[in-house]
A = this chain, B = another copy of it.
């Protein structure tokens, strides 16, 4: 439960070494000894999740804009590993917006989005509820795409060039009710992303949303991230497990063979084919309970540690290419 990918691969190797699991035709099976071992414990498989809402508790199209949003999103620039991109499925973007709405963070709100390969900015604007949305992006293709569609559909969305190594533009600081971001998952990287995002918030009562995986962030890393959020004077109010699913079929431009995790598993199974949407993240909401104290301000050097640590088994390829 909640093992990061290193733990997962090591556990799998141990099970194989102990003769409890074997690889046949690219799939993993319990061996005879494995099945006997399983019978020793009280293990049953129950499907507890609601099929109507894919286990999220939130309907997939609460605002009646899914079709329009999908139509726009279908024209989006292909995700590229150069910027750690990869987008979550459209229904889940709608559910994320619905959750933000339910928290009172959408209506009449000024919202800053740091990195928007999901195009959540356009999705939120299609509801007609937010007052203003500013997107900070490093990818010129996305900036162009978002601004063109904002103009075409008359949406209050503006996308600007942004590099997380620098502070956000002065006119944006302390100006927003809500931030949304999906940061890299190294301690240094997430601290940087969340600090930049936090510097855009007005103050007490402002909220932030971000995704965090178990795949590339161990529970010890989660603990350190939580500690840093509290020290920035946030409180954690919500943690929705596996809320964001990254569909493999849509993100295949990020070639599977390049993922470190696939290389590791391929060594075991002789199989590199992806047939499960394994990359999911927990949606976390935080709220400022007083003056916000970003942990980082001013320009920083781009160091490797910002993008990669020894838990970055999926997104690491992006940096290797970048070098």
- Say whether A32 faces chain B, with CB atoms less than 8 Å apart: no
Of the listed stretches A111-119, A234-242, A244-252, chain B binds A234-242
Tell which of B51, B53, B227 touches A230, judged by Cβ atoms closer than 8 Å.
Answer: B227
In the complex, the answer to whether B289 meets A43 with C-beta atoms within 8 Å is: no
A17 is an interface residue with CB less than 8 A from chain B: no
Q: Are B62 and A58 in contact (CB under 8 A)?
A: no
Contact digits for A45-62, partner B, Cβ 8 Å, 1 yes 0 no: 011111111011111001
A239 to B220 alpha-carbon distance, docked (Å): 18
Query: How far, in angstroms, from A281 to B226 measured CA to CA in the complex?
Result: 21
B287 A219 Cβ-Cβ under 8 A? yes
Question: In the bound complex, do residue A289 and residue B42 qualify as a contact, i.e. CB atoms below 8 Å apart?
Answer: no
- The docked-state distance in angstroms from the alpha carbon of A240 to that of B282 is 12
Q: A153 an interface residue at 8 Å Cβ cutoff? A: no
Q: How many identical subunits does the complex contain?
A: 2
- A108 CA / B50 CA spacing, docked (Å): 25
Per the CB 8 Å criterion, the residue count for chain A at the interface is 53
Which of B2, B48, B49 touches A237 (beta carbons < 8 Å)? B2
CB contacts (< 8 Å) of A55 on chain B: these are: 57-58
Q: Which residues of B contact A230 (CB under 8 A)?
A: 223, 226-227, 230
Q: Give every chain B residue within 8 A of A51 (Cβ-Cβ).
A: 52
Tell me whether A98 and B223 are in contact (CB under 8 A). no
Stretch at the interface among A72-80, A99-107, A158-166, A182-190: A99-107
**Chain A residues in the interface with B (C-beta under 8 A):** 1-2, 41-44, 46-53, 55-59, 62-63, 98-99, 101-105, 107-108, 128-131, 219-220, 222-223, 226-227, 230, 233-241, 287, 289-290
Beyond A42-B129, A44-B129, A220-B290, 13 additional contacts (C-beta under 8 Å) are A1-B105, A43-B108, A46-B101, A48-B59, A49-B58, A50-B56, A50-B58, A220-B235, A222-B236, A223-B230, A226-B226, A227-B230, A237-B239
Q: What are 20 pairs between A and B in contact, CB < 8 Å? A: A1-B104, A2-B237, A41-B107, A41-B108, A43-B108, A44-B107, A48-B62, A50-B57, A50-B58, A52-B53, A53-B53, A53-B57, A55-B58, A219-B235, A222-B237, A223-B234, A223-B235, A236-B239, A238-B241, A239-B239
